[in-house]
Amino acid sequence: MLNIGVIGVGEIGKMHIEKITSRISNARIIRINDTNESYAISVAKKYGAEIEKDPHALIAANDVDAVIITCWDQYHEEFTLAAINEKKPVFCEKPLSNTADACMRIMNAEMESGKRVLTVGFMRRFDKSYISLKETIESGEIGEPLLIHAQHRNVAPLGDLRFTTEMSISNSLAHEFDVTRWLINEEYESIQFIEPKRTRNVNYDYSDPQMAILRTKSGVHIDFEVFLNARYGYDIQCEVVGEEGTARLQDSNRSVTLRRNGLCSQSVYSNWKERFEEAYDNELRQWVDGVLAGEAIGPNAWDGYVAASVAESCIKSRLERRTVKLDYINCPKFYEKSKK
Ligand code: ISE
């Protein structure tokens, strides 16, 4: 049985606790921590876990075998480093951190420890539609990829999150920055930010939608759109255009197509929990099974560093209104063997 401590029980932390408790075998939540103590007490009571007021005490606790970090992005580094220091397997939600330097410190600490213990929560790599898309590309059926068109739309940011223009990039577009390089197994060369006309559906100073054009080292051009106040639904799209054909991401559990009263319609997801429900299950199940087998699976600290580095360059491109050459380091040998 894997005894897990969770730091941060907001939307996604609570979702992971529910999944581990009700769907993932050989694992249970035994300690939780959150800055909102009354909230933490209610969640702990519901799942029969202990409250730990000090997150570092949670990480060090003898009865905590592994740690899940789902607190605010800016605290990911502190607690991930503490888990590495305790040599405890740790699952950190994306982004690993909102700065490349912080991710570099995490990489260096893990490499100095001599053992990989960190998995970063880029769950799209565990989504069967994205896995099928990657398999199609790797089969050569569409020939060499030349272009990729990706859209990432939300109804509105979940909960009371007041997204900033930078968060759309570092927190949301981070998914595209990670999954696209995984899809085509290529690294990026440059990024150009594009600031379209703003929606009037946001009542504060926030650039939405946003776009970015990425160029890979072999010349593949990728256009990303992130629109977090799209209103109509939660809609993630990805089309890869190759020499011989195209491959488009399918919604893994799309409902029926309804034809009625002269209309043809399909439902659209309402949020990320719904669209990626299976991906989160797969991700957590594989993480638990990996930890019990003594290995860290999935996206590693270098993947987290690359996403943070590309996000920083995208923000720089926005501020300086120019295309920015990407300068993230190559994958250290330490992480080469665990690349999947
Ligand atoms: C948000 O930033 C996330 O990280 C979610 O995983 C993603 O699905 C959502 O669209 C983003 O806004």
Buried b (16+ CB within 10 A) or exposed e, 128-153: ebbbebbebbeeeebeebeebbbbbb
pLDDT tens-digit profile, the chain (340 residues)? 999 999 999 999 999 999 999 999 999 999 999 999 999 999 999 999 999 999 999 999 999 999 999 999 999 999 999 999 999 999 999 999 999 999 999 999 999 999 999 999 999 999 999 999 999 999 999 999 999 999 999 998 765 567 889 999 999 999 999 999 999 999 999 999 999 999 999 888 999 999 999 999 999 999 999 999 999 999 999 999 999 999 999 976 677 899 999 999 999 999 999 999 999 999 999 999 999 999 999 999 999 999 999 999 999 999 999 999 999 999 999 999 655 4
Nearest to 169 by CA among 194, 148, 146: 194
Distance 85 CA to ligand 1 centre (A): 29
Residue-level pLDDT at 163: 83
Ligand 1: which atom is nearest the Cα of residue 236? Answer: 10
* E runs forming strands in the chain: 2-7, 27-33, 50-51, 66-69, 90-93, 118-121, 145-153, 188-194, 210-216, 221-227, 235-242, 246-248, 258-260, 263-265, 324-325
Contact 102, 42 (CB under 8 A): no
Residues 223 and 314 sit within 8 Å (Cβ to Cβ): no
Residues 104, 107, 108, 110: what is their CA dihedral angle, to the nearest 10 degrees? Answer: 160
Closest residue by CA, ligand 1 atom 2? 172
> CA dihedral defined by 132, 138, 139, 144, rounded to 10 degrees?
120
Name every protein residue with a CB atom under 6 angstroms from any ligand 1 atom. Answer: 152, 154, 157, 171-172, 228, 272
Cα-to-chain-centroid distance, residue 320? 27
Closest-CA residue, ligand 1 atom 6, reads 272
pLDDT score of 69 = 98
Residue with tokens 């120019």: 322
| Ligand 1 mean position, distance from CA 272 (Å) | 6
Q: Count of CB atoms within 10 A of residue 163's CB?
A: 19
DSSP one-letter string for 301-336: HHHHHHHHHHHHHHHHHHHHTS-EE--PPPPPHHHH
- DSSP-derived pairing of the beta strands 27-33 and 50-51: parallel
Contact 293, 257 (CB under 8 A): no
What pTM, to 2 d.p., does this model score? Answer: 0.96
Task: Name the closest-CA residue to atom 1, ligand 1.
Answer: 172
Residues ≥6 apart with Cβ < 8 Å to 38: none
DSSP 228: T
Contact 269, 129 (CB under 8 A): no
Q: What is the dihedral of CA 72, 77, 80, 84, to 10 degrees?
A: -170
In this prediction, residue 157 carries a pLDDT of 73
Structure tokens given for 289? 């099974």
Residue 35: what pLDDT?
A: 96
The whole-number pLDDT of residue 338 equals 59
